[in-house]
Amino acid sequence: MTRRLTVLLLAVLAVGGLAVVLGSGLGRASPQLVDQSSASSPLIGHRAPPLSGRTLQGGQFSLTRDPARVTFVNVWASWCGPCREELPLIADTAAQWAREGTGARVVTIDTKDGPLPARNMLRRSGATELPTLSDPHGDRAVAWGATGVPETFVVDHHGIVRARHVGPVTRDWLEREASQWGAR
């Protein structure tokens, strides 16, 4: 009888323990999940993925060979509606930074897209001067841990990823990040 009670007690303890674990799991989000908010990325604080190659404009771009004070890496595609709204703002801000010599610049990754629609959209957005790397298979976007378009990453002059923005950026965000990470 005592043995049976012991077994029963052990079973109740095991089930109770499991229920507590389950309850805590259901009741709160684990830190890893919270960490995946829209603006975070495991890349932040780490060296930026390599980014170089021939641009749609015909020039060469290299993140490491020609470092700037701050580089904004914007991922977009011509088939993405929010990108169409965002691109003119990015082009305008980048042109202003170049005129003022702030040391901040923008490079874009045109992902899962064709050069023809991409060039058309750059032209329509007044963004023909934005260095743009073609990414027809999407592997450049994946290398940056992008989950969609548009997304923007900030890289400081040491080549360290400092911030990530999901969705269309605002001028305020661009200016704030540029000055925070060393633009004049």
Selected binder of other proteins within 13, 22, 129, 170 (CB under 8 A): 22
Total Cβ atoms within 10 A of residue 144: 22
- For other proteins, which residue of 71, 102, 111, 132 counts as binding (CB under 8 A)? 111
| Cβ distance to other proteins smaller for residue 79 or 126 | 79
Closest listed residue to residue 75, CA positions, set 165, 183, 182, 176? 165
Nearer to other proteins by Cβ, of 38 and 128: the residue is 38
Instruction: Give yes or no for residue 5 binding other proteins (CB under 8 A).
Output: no
> Residue 101: what are its φ and ψ, rounded to 5°?
65, 40
Distance between CA atoms of residues 168 and 135, nearest Å: 19
Among 50, 53, 88, 115, binds other proteins (CB under 8 A): 115
Alpha carbon separation from 97 to 49, 62, 68, 155, 179 (Å, rounded): 24, 19, 12, 16, 11
Q: What's the min distance (Å) between Cβ of 146 and other proteins?
A: 8
Size of the site for other proteins (CB under 8 A): 54
Q: Report the chain's terminal Cα–Cα distance, integer Å.
A: 81
Contact footprint for other proteins (CB under 8 A): 4, 7-8, 10-11, 14-15, 18, 21-22, 25-26, 29-30, 32-38, 41-43, 46, 49, 78-83, 111-117, 136-139, 141-145, 147-150, 166-167
